[in-house]
Amino acid sequence: MRYHAVVRLTIAFLAATAAYAQFPSPTLTEVTTKVSEHVFMTTGFPNVVYVVGNAATLVVDTGLGTANGALVARVAKRLSKGPKLLLTTTHYHPEHAAGVGGFPPETILIRPAVQQQELEKEGEQTMTFFKNSPQSAPSLQGLGPLRPPDITFESEAKLELGGGLTVRLMFLGAGHTASDELIFVEPDRALITGDIVQNKVVPSVASSGGSFSSWLTVLDKLVPLQPRLVIPTHSKVGDASLITSEAAFIRDMQSRAAALKRSGVSSSDAVTRLTEVFKTNYADWVANTDWPNLNSMTGFVNRLYAEIR
């Protein structure tokens, strides 16, 4: 029963945010930007990243549905120097994983074992929500079960893409979901963060397995990497300061929420109060057009309240 309640909360949060027109179109384009020596990106919903080596290309995330996946695969082929195509997904949500059917069958799909388990547990209900969304439904028409990965790993997998290009695929713990993957392109010191690190975006725990407490632990593990570039999936590229600023934001709001809860303030009143704090103390986040941050505060604060004991 608890699992179904959490899924309903997740879908309610997604519905609340998806209604706003700030989101980019789910239809991706073939326009790419060179982010670093080996890394290219298509900006959209989500940002899709291509890591290009002499022998192989790694694609991070697929876009929403088969047509977007096929477009991403075409871009990867155009950028590639070598014959091998690898694919990984930062988490199981449809805009990140549901385009796998558009990739050639010889594409090697890699993901954390825990992500595949979460996809099997929660993926169908999350997919149903997206299929019922007017914005997302056209991209998901006719979509069947997603194919399983060719390779899974527990905590880390290291790829050699040729020409000295090494990439680390890492599962460091739960956060946005129970199974977020992070990707570190070592020579470029570029960290691809999925939804775990964003650029001035209010974070959301959007599965039954994530929590803000474990999310902070993941952020602390990222700091020693000292990335030169941080590449989120729903906001602009930044540097390592995105990690520390997001951790500081969560800790600040976590502390304020705990104080309000201890003093007997209801969660609905806490939402009102902390939204006002947000407007005052994080004006640059409020002004960010990448995400409807003000509308995200309700789900954010309610989740913080639920975690406070």
Amino acid identity, residue 36? S
pLDDT surpasses 70 at 13: no
Average pLDDT over residues 114-133: 92
Q: How many CB atoms lie within 10 A of CB 9?
A: 17
Lowest average pLDDT, out of 15-24, 25-34, 233-242, goes to 15-24
Helix (H, G, I), strand (E, B) or coil at 80: coil
Domain ranges of the chain: 2-196+206-214+225-240
Percentage with pLDDT > 90 across the chain: 83
Strand partners, 210: none
pLDDT-derived band of residue 9, with 50, 70 and 90 as boundaries? very low
Sorted by sequence, the CB contacts under 8 Å of residue 60 that are 6+ apart come out as 48, 49, 50, 51, 88, 89, 90, 183, 192
Percentage with pLDDT > 70 across the chain: 93
Extended strands (E) in 43-90: 48-52, 56-60, 84-88
- Per-residue b/e over 281-306, b at no fewer than 16 CB within 10 Å? ebeebbebebbbbeebbbbbbbbbbe
DSSP letter for 33, please: E
Average pLDDT over residues 35-51: 97
Specify the CATH class of 2-196+206-214+225-240 in words: alpha beta
pLDDT value for 208: 76
pLDDT value for 10: 46
Per-residue pLDDT tens digits for 187-241: 999 999 999 999 999 999 987 788 999 999 999 999 999 999 999 999 999 999 9
pLDDT surpasses 50 at 19: no
pLDDT value for 2: 38
Per-residue pLDDT tens digits for 131-186: 988 889 999 988 888 999 999 999 999 999 999 999 999 999 999 999 999 999 99
pLDDT surpasses 50 at 6: no
Which two structure tokens, joined as six digits, stand for 132? 């019922």
Cβ(164)–Cβ(198) below 8 Å: no
pLDDT-derived band of residue 75, with 50, 70 and 90 as boundaries? very high
Residue found by looking up tokens 């209010």 in the block: 202
pLDDT value for 23: 64
pLDDT-derived band of residue 22, with 50, 70 and 90 as boundaries? low
pLDDT value for 187: 98
Lowest average pLDDT, out of 8-17, 49-58, 158-167, 260-269, goes to 8-17
Per-residue pLDDT tens digits for 246-283: 999 999 999 999 999 999 999 999 999 999 999 999 99
0.85 exceeded by pTM: yes
Lowest average pLDDT, out of 69-78, 86-95, 119-128, goes to 119-128
Pick from 178, 173, 177, 160: which is nearest to 222 by CA?
Answer: 173
